[in-house]
Structure 1
Amino acid sequence: MTTTAAIVAPILFGLALGAWASRAEVSPPASVAPAFVTDVPGIREEMLDPEYWIGRLRDDEIRMTAAEIGTFNAKNFARGEYLHDLDQFPQRLKRTRVLALLDTVSRPASTPRFHTDDSPLTPRDYAALEASTQRARIPAEVRVRWGMVVRRANMRSFPTQMRIYKNPQDTDLDRLQETGVFPGQRLALLHESADGNWWFAVNYHYAAWLPKSAVAVGDRDVIDRWSQREPRLLVTGAQVQTNFNPDDPRTSQVALDMGVSLPLLSAADVGYQVNGQNPYASYIVSLPARAADGSLEFVPTLIARSRDVHRGALAYRDSALLRQAFKFLGERYGWGHDYNGRDCTGFIGEVYKSFGILMPRNSGQQGRGGFAPTRFFGEGDEKRRRDALGSLQVGDLIYIPGHVMMYIGDVSGEPYVIHDVTGLRYYDSEKNFYSGTLSGVSVTPLKPLWLSRDKSFVDSIYAIKTIL
């Protein structure tokens, strides 16, 4: 070190140290997290962490093996109530059968409906919707075509994106919205809309209209082989995306919701470059895509290993159920999978799909169907209802009219649930009726909640189901 450098270095060090000390003297005090405040009764902040509930589990044994889940699904599909076994779906259907499926969704409402400008739907509006279905052109025998969903899309009551409401002020609930579909789901294609832009299709738990742009048409055998191919990568996060792909927009940042399952490929299959990226730090999956002519093809696509995904279905146990459910906590409520979200049964269905368990789409179908051991409660059954709440198991599904909740644990005799819910109603400590909003996936106690001033959640329970 030169003499000058030897002199300057300590000076610079001293200046730096002095500057640091000066900053330390004037730095603000450590920040304090704002107090947790909520209008939801009986909730503490730690209850919004799944580990709080996992720490309260008495045991965490496997509830069903993969083979037992396969048997469970097979029995429910065999009942034919609300699930469609596409493996056994006929290649031809009579016109009466297609019309029966169509009539479950494409029909005028029994009560008034309103446009987005608050004007009521008229007979002329319904006539136009009816004409769009061109049901008169359904032949005596329908030859089923086959397709696969290539992007998340909505299934609709009629082949239209028009939104209508039961109440002009309740614009969150589009009454033409039925459900969502996700990449990789198989479809039986039964009919086309008058404008040629929509399919009337059947998936494993629904029949409704969806845009052709979200569907690729293919050979049934090819689709079935892809659906059965192993090993598979399962999306276990609320939603993940495929890697950005500058070369093929069809596979770039594709949204994949919880429960989507895709065949895994390896570099031995596709080489050491996929869409300009080395695949070793990602999973390579076979992603369905739509060719320019609407036909189906499968494209090697990357999903980063850092994403919330898993090789195969998760082991079905209480801790995993809780962790999967809490991944949706705070997500905005989306009627029929609207708003890029889900509703109460969409939430439940996606959570259980993480374990390979498939359920009917709507709460009434789940609650009244025979897909699991069921306890029904009629009027005057208040004691049985409350007794049943004392023997709940984590993951039990609690059904009230139009809604389903998942039991997550008990605190001081109060059962708590996680559910995708819109309203918040209860009587406060001074017996005043409080009416607020949740509109999302929420953790709440069960007993304080009310459907209306005269009907509590507990008194509305008509079924409790344990998925075993």
Structure 2
Amino acid sequence: MLKVFLAPLSLIVLLPANPPSLLGLPQEASRYLPKFKLPIPSRTKLKKAYLKQWYAPWMGMQTMEDLDKVFWIQETLHEPGYDKHLQPYTNAKLQEILADMDIAHYPSVGIRAVVIADANVRAVPTDAPYYLKDGYPFDRWQNSMIFAGTPVLITHYNKAKTYAHIQSSFVFGWVRLDKLAAVSSKQVQTFLHFRHYLTPTRDKIPLANRGVAHMGEIFIKVPHHFRQVYTYAKDTEGFVKLIPTPLHSPHFTPFPRPFTQRAMAVVIDTMLGQPYGWGGADQKRDCSAFTRDSFASFGILLPRNSLAQVRYANNMVDLSHLPPRKKEAYIIRHATPFATILWLKGHIMLYLGVKHHRAIVAHNVWSVLVSKNNTYNIKKAAITTLDIGYKNAKHPPAFSLLARILGMSDLYRYALKLPNKF
């Protein structure tokens, strides 16, 4: 999750309006496409790898055992925090939430299920927010947004039986029980026998009777029916019902898409300018959701947080020892445009290429420091340099994006080297 900001929100809101010229770059990813084309990685291999990971919660996924990891949020239940009205939580209220988690009886079940409607994944079994001094939008109890159709393993319930603790292929946490349906063994086999999937080529496409289709989402194509996909509901016994749903938009394509730089530019352009949303709140994206949804339609299923993403392909290059300009030179020389992710603590960015000898990235970011006492608010998905606010300074300050980059991972090379068997 994004932690690029280094100043409290109370300071940010008192700053003058940001000068629009600070970004200073064309906000269309296609403007940065390299002249050369790369070989296209195997779509068959990418699809197999993606679906194996996607369906892992139904295929013998082990229940997480480390209570400190599963319930990592417990520390907030012992610290002062603020509710949606910016009133401090009482200790009694925090202890009530902690008791409702029923940690002593975890894990209490092991049920295969599917998300039937887009849902929030929460760190605690409540929709109430928890803010520290930085305030909105940083709800520390908001973990992620999870799409309808995502396979999950239910491992536990809260005492009130309003939430289930789930594990998915990329995130774990609490999901409202009315957003989930059980999946029988027979239904699991039905899902596994589907062969064709579709993915959107634009973001937030309206669907008949079921919200919107998001960039990075996949849909099972109804066999032998033109332009129909399955959406989901729950039957009277709590099991999933598959509902054939017509697609009224032309903006869908077979999954996975060919992994090309031009196709990635199209994906990025559909999300640029969209507002920032911590942990997927209000169906918006933060930095890691932006990166994850950028790669998903190509058959690369990244995990939830930025550190896990840069480690995903097992090819992370450690850049922490390099001074800023040498770090940038290494990135420019070795990174694959539109396929390499750059990581700093709490933040992730997608490398696009070079303009005026500076590395260019796309990311969804709340704000960055441009001096020790001045924060530049971006609050959206944008294309920036790595030294935003410092122009061509020979030595960008230690709190700059460039100076804080710790590693990079090339997902194009990962895709090229996928094995034949999984």
Q: TM-score range by the shorter chain?
A: 0.7 to 0.9
Residue identity in the other structure for 1:355: F
Matches within 5 A, 1:68-467: 68-69=45-46, 85-90=56-61, 93=63, 97=65, 99=67, 102-108=70-76, 112-138=80-106, 142-167=108-133, 170-243=135-208, 252-265=209-222, 283-306=227-250, 308-367=251-310, 369-379=311-321, 381-382=323-324, 384-391=326-333, 392-395=335-338, 396-426=340-370, 434-449=374-389, 454-467=398-411
Query: CA separation of 1:379/1:42 partners in 2, compared to 1, >3 Å: closer, same or farther?
Result: same
Query: CA separation of 1:220/1:261 partners in 2, compared to 1, >3 Å: closer, same or farther?
Result: farther
Q: CA deviation at 1:301?
A: 0.7
Residues in 1 aligned to 2:123 and 2:197: alpha-carbon distance in whole angstroms: 33
Q: CA deviation at 1:284?
A: 1.0
* Deviation digits for residues 32-58 of structure 1 (CA, Å, limit 9, x no counterpart): xxxxx95343524xx22233223xx12
Q: CA deviation at 1:380?
A: 5.5
Indicate conservation of the 8 Å contact 2:198/2:254, yes or no.
yes
Query: CA separation of 1:359/1:220 partners in 2, compared to 1, >3 Å: closer, same or farther?
Result: farther
Query: CA separation of 1:232/1:461 partners in 2, compared to 1, >3 Å: closer, same or farther?
Result: same
Query: CA separation of 1:363/1:109 partners in 2, compared to 1, >3 Å: closer, same or farther?
Result: farther
Residue identity in the other structure for 1:310: T
Indicate conservation of the 8 Å contact 1:40/1:444, yes or no.
no
* Deviation digits for residues 332-360 of structure 1 (CA, Å, limit 9, x no counterpart): 11111012211100010011001010111
Residues in 1 aligned to 2:67 and 2:185: alpha-carbon distance in whole angstroms: 23
Larger Rg: 1
Q: CA deviation at 1:256?
A: 2.1
Q: Which residue of 2 aligns with 1:33?
A: none
Q: Which consecutive unaligned segments of at least 5 residues does structure 1 have?
A: 1-36, 78-82, 244-251, 270-279
Paired residue secondary structure (2:88)? coil
Residue identity in the other structure for 1:172: P
Q: Which residue of 2 aligns with 1:12?
A: none
Q: Which residue of 1 aligns with 2:32?
A: 53
Paired residue secondary structure (1:108)? helix
Residues in 2 aligned to 1:415 and 1:235: alpha-carbon distance in whole angstroms: 29
Q: CA deviation at 1:303?
A: 1.2
Residue identity in the other structure for 1:437: N
Q: Identify which of structures 1 and 2 has the higher relative contact order when contacts are C-alpha pairs closer than 8 Å and 6+ apart.
A: 2
Q: CA deviation at 1:221?
A: 4.3
Question: How many residues get paired?
Answer: 388
Q: CA deviation at 1:117?
A: 2.9
Q: Percentage identity across aligned positions? A: 17
TM-score normalised by L of structure 1: 0.75
Residues in 1 aligned to 2:23 and 2:380: alpha-carbon distance in whole angstroms: 18
Indicate conservation of the 8 Å contact 2:77/2:94, yes or no.
no
Query: CA separation of 1:106/1:233 partners in 2, compared to 1, >3 Å: closer, same or farther?
Result: farther
Query: CA separation of 1:178/1:446 partners in 2, compared to 1, >3 Å: closer, same or farther?
Result: same
Q: CA deviation at 1:386?
A: 2.9
Residues in 2 aligned to 1:42 and 1:440: alpha-carbon distance in whole angstroms: 12
Residues in 2 aligned to 1:329 and 1:209: alpha-carbon distance in whole angstroms: 29
Q: CA deviation at 1:106?
A: 4.7
Query: CA separation of 1:433/1:161 partners in 2, compared to 1, >3 Å: closer, same or farther?
Result: closer
Q: CA deviation at 1:381?
A: 4.4
Residue identity in the other structure for 1:69: L
Query: CA separation of 1:102/1:371 partners in 2, compared to 1, >3 Å: closer, same or farther?
Result: same
Query: CA separation of 1:361/1:107 partners in 2, compared to 1, >3 Å: closer, same or farther?
Result: same
Q: Which residue of 2 aligns with 1:10?
A: none
